Chains A and B, each alone.
Chain A
Amino acid sequence: MSRLASTFAALRAQGRRALIPFLVAGDPTLDATATFLDCFASSGADVLEIGVPFSDPIADGPVNQRAAQRALAGGTSLRDVLDLAARVRPRLAQPIVLLSYYNPILRLGLEAFGRLAANAGVDGVVVPDLPPEEGGPLRAAAEPNGLDIIFLAAPTSTDERLARVAASSRGFTYCVSLTGVTGVRDDVATDVGGLVGRLRRHTDLPICVGFGVSTPEHARQVAGVADGVIVGSAIVSVIEQGGAAAVPALAEFVRALRAGVDAAVA
């Protein structure tokens, strides 16, 4: 069983939901990122999501755009992120999921990426600009290496498309909570439960919800309808404010998110 599958199976057995914090690798430095990942792991994260910075992140709002620009200014590449994953893998039990736009992966080469990512101990990959109909080549490179490719479902997806997203995904499915880009929001989109329910009809895979989940209260609401809660921009904001010294604030925030997630099922 893959690390993602066993993690979600264990959570399910305990009646718990996954907390998946996200950060952008190299923001502000790769060493800081390693420290932040340790912090996530010891503050209640179940899965670690690492963003690969890209020059043209069309699915991201201003917070993640700025983080990517800071990371790129420091020269962070996909290879660096794979090295980072390999570095933290031995000491962390949690599955590691990369979020990367498609072009850095293409440039490295699909074959090489599949091999290097698996060797680094990466468990899954989310590619926000790769819909399932374009995902065949990446899946073909990933699957022999035991690397899970996770596709995204959106509020605009038709039922036919939800079926395709579900059938193409491995590890879990990523449900985009809102019609828009990533960012910190005041409220959770009202129809998240409906979208998760529609997707659920097509898959037994865990369904994790991201985009706009910003507070412990949001985490509680989302954990009430989904198997996992992905928190990105709100965490990246804490890193933006604290820089390399963000660890105490991050630990506090991730613990609060954990409490929110657990409150949903308690």
Chain B
Amino acid sequence: MTARAGLIGAGRFGRFGGRYVPETLIPALDELEVEYARLSADPVFRAALDSTLHHYCGRPTPLYYAARLSDELGLKIYIKREDLLHTGAHKINNAIGQVFLARAMGKQRIIAETGAGQHGVATATAAAVAGLPCEVYMGAEDIIRQSLNVFRMRLLGAKVISVESGTRTLKDAINEALRDWVTNVATTFYVIGSVVGPHPYPTLVRDLQAVIGREARAQMIEQAGCLPDVAIACVGGGSNAIGLFHAFRDDPVRLIGVEAGGDGLGTGRHAATLVAGSPGVLHGAMSYLLQDEAGQVRETHSISAGLDYPGVGPEHAFLKESGRAEYAAEDDRTALDGFQLLARTEGILAALEPSHAIGHLQHVAPTLPRGASVLVGLSGRGDKDVHVIARALGEKA
């Protein structure tokens, strides 16, 4: 694993990426880049991380052939079960890795932002394992939407800080975490939750999540005897999708990222950054973002708090423009359909985020060759979402 694998130029994916942050943070980013390169090549550090991912988090996760879903859609569908990981989503792969880095770098305090609460829970968990104090910034709006995860973080010993500024959602939580980091940069490690932010974060988080695709690729060869024709995953910031895609980047595999279409692209109430956004700078990186004609970042909407973000990782912007990956958007309704389809055919309650990928698969199945093999990244489980789903379906939970 090298710090610059896949990068073109210093911290750039084509014209995307870079470091658009206050000068105060640049030395800390330099330090992180150097320490990450050193530690990721250190066999002792790697062994401790791999052992924890195995014995504590539950890696490798299964690759599951979804027979009934496959029959229903006329495809061969393989599901990568990140929902079975400790804490219930792929977020733990990244959180454990970054918190172990923080500990090895001698940092005394962990901060993180969270939207759905999954990254906050994962970071609070990792901080507990490492014995470090943890504070999580969360938009006041999301605290209401994802109260179960707020309680989980508190039980894990983390302090949850309500963010009242701006749109009171994930983007403002990241702003507030960045302000905290600017102020406490000497002692504090900022565990960012997706492949976003200034270099080296998009690369660092990609490398930590690439285990998803590495395992899935080997499992496909072993279980299916071939690579998938298509790999598909949901895209919020883009960490589970890049984690799945990375191992297939040089293979003849179609890569599809699915964004949140919210109420529909036509309504303006969505979070489809790559599909409907334009290039710009947010949270330290040049990438795509949802913005108005004056360059102000727009409010987003999605039924899934984890996809409700106006930015996206710079590597996805590069994959979109280079044509190596394609991106689609599915609305709240389709995500709910996808959720119900998977529950009914396979007995899996998925999180609403990857339910967008299932919903998209349902839409595109008729356009794929019959019997095509599809690898789906199931990034998390749906326990956190049952209240939202019940309300959306007009039922009491």
Our verdict on whether A and B bind, yes or no, reads yes
A contact residues vs B (CB 8 Å cutoff): 54-62, 65, 69, 72, 77-79, 101-108, 128-131, 133-134, 151-158, 161, 165, 176, 179-181
A72 in contact with B296 given A58-B182, A134-B19, A152-B23 (CB within 8 Å): yes
With both chains docked as a complex, state the minimum distance between the C-beta of B124 and any C-beta of chain A, in angstroms. 23
Q: Would you call B179 and A181 a contact (CB within 8 A)? A: yes
Give chain B residues whose Cβ lies under 8 Å from the Cβ of A60.
179
8 new A-B pairs (CB below 8 Å) besides A106-B279, A129-B284, A131-B19?
A56-B175, A57-B175, A61-B179, A65-B166, A103-B280, A131-B22, A165-B23, A176-B23
When chains A and B are docked, how far (Å) is the Cα of A128 from the Cα of B178?
Answer: 13
> Interface extent on B, as a size class?
35 or more
Beta-carbon contacts under 8 Å, B277-327 to A: 279-284, 289, 291, 293-297
Asked if B147 CB lies within 8 Å of chain A CBs, one says no
A161 in contact with B27 given A79-B294, A180-B182 (CB within 8 Å): yes
Give chain B residues whose Cβ lies under 8 Å from the Cβ of A61.
179
Q: Would you call B26 and A131 a contact (CB within 8 A)? A: yes
With both chains docked as a complex, state the minimum distance between the C-beta of A144 and any C-beta of chain B, in angstroms. 22
A176 in contact with B24 given A55-B297, A77-B294, A104-B295 (CB within 8 Å): yes
Q: Would you call A54 and B22 a contact (CB within 8 A)? A: no
With both chains docked as a complex, state the minimum distance between the C-beta of A61 and any C-beta of chain B, in angstroms. 7
A78 in contact with B294 given A58-B21, A157-B23 (CB within 8 Å): yes
The contact of B182 among A78, A103, A179, by CB within 8 Å, is A179
The contact of A129 among B22, B27, B172, B185, by CB within 8 Å, is B22
Beta-carbon contacts under 8 Å, B1-43 to A: 18-28
The contact of A156 among B27, B289, B293, by CB within 8 Å, is B27
Asked if B183 CB lies within 8 Å of chain A CBs, one says yes
Asked if B108 CB lies within 8 Å of chain A CBs, one says no
Q: Would you call B22 and A56 a contact (CB within 8 A)? A: no
B contact residues vs A (CB 8 Å cutoff): 18-28, 165-166, 171-172, 175, 178-179, 182-183, 185-186, 279-284, 289, 291, 293-297
Q: Would you call B27 and A103 a contact (CB within 8 A)? A: no
Q: Would you call A107 and B291 a contact (CB within 8 A)? A: yes
With both chains docked as a complex, state the minimum distance between the C-beta of A221 and any C-beta of chain B, in angstroms. 21
When chains A and B are docked, how far (Å) is the Cα of A75 from the Cα of B183?
Answer: 30
When chains A and B are docked, how far (Å) is the Cα of A105 from the Cα of B2?
Answer: 34
Give chain B residues whose Cβ lies under 8 Å from the Cβ of A107.
280, 291, 293-295
Question: Most chain-B Cβ atoms within 10 A of its Cβ — which of A131, A158, A180?
Answer: A131
Q: Would you call A128 and B165 a contact (CB within 8 A)? A: no
Question: Most chain-A Cβ atoms within 10 A of its Cβ — which of B171, B289, B294, B297?
Answer: B294
5 closest Cβ pairs, A-B complex: A107-B295, A77-B294, A104-B295, A180-B183, A154-B24
A106 in contact with B23 given A180-B182, A181-B182 (CB within 8 Å): no
The contact of B183 among A69, A129, A152, A181, by CB within 8 Å, is A181
With both chains docked as a complex, state the minimum distance between the C-beta of B228 and any C-beta of chain A, in angstroms. 37
With both chains docked as a complex, state the minimum distance between the C-beta of B111 and any C-beta of chain A, in angstroms. 14
Q: Would you call A102 and B186 a contact (CB within 8 A)? A: no
The contact of B171 among A54, A56, A69, A134, by CB within 8 Å, is A56
The contact of B186 among A65, A78, A161, A179, by CB within 8 Å, is A179
When chains A and B are docked, how far (Å) is the Cα of A78 from the Cα of B289?
Answer: 18
With both chains docked as a complex, state the minimum distance between the C-beta of A128 and any C-beta of chain B, in angstroms. 6
Give chain A residues whose Cβ lies under 8 Å from the Cβ of B186.
156, 179
23 example contacts (A-B, Cβ-Cβ < 8 A) are as follows A56-B282, A58-B22, A59-B22, A69-B165, A72-B296, A78-B295, A104-B295, A104-B296, A106-B279, A106-B295, A107-B291, A128-B22, A129-B21, A129-B284, A131-B21, A151-B23, A152-B23, A154-B22, A156-B24, A156-B27, A156-B28, A176-B24, A180-B182
Q: Would you call A156 and B284 a contact (CB within 8 A)? A: no
When chains A and B are docked, how far (Å) is the Cα of A57 from the Cα of B25?
Answer: 15
Give chain A residues whose Cβ lies under 8 Å from the Cβ of B27.
156-158, 161
Q: Would you call B295 and A152 a contact (CB within 8 A)? A: no
The contact of A105 among B23, B179, B295, by CB within 8 Å, is B295
With both chains docked as a complex, state the minimum distance between the C-beta of A40 and any C-beta of chain B, in angstroms. 25
Give chain A residues whose Cβ lies under 8 Å from the Cβ of B183.
179-181
When chains A and B are docked, how far (Å) is the Cα of A152 from the Cα of B182?
Answer: 14
Q: Would you call A106 and B281 a contact (CB within 8 A)? A: yes
Give chain A residues whose Cβ lies under 8 Å from the Cβ of B21.
58, 129, 131
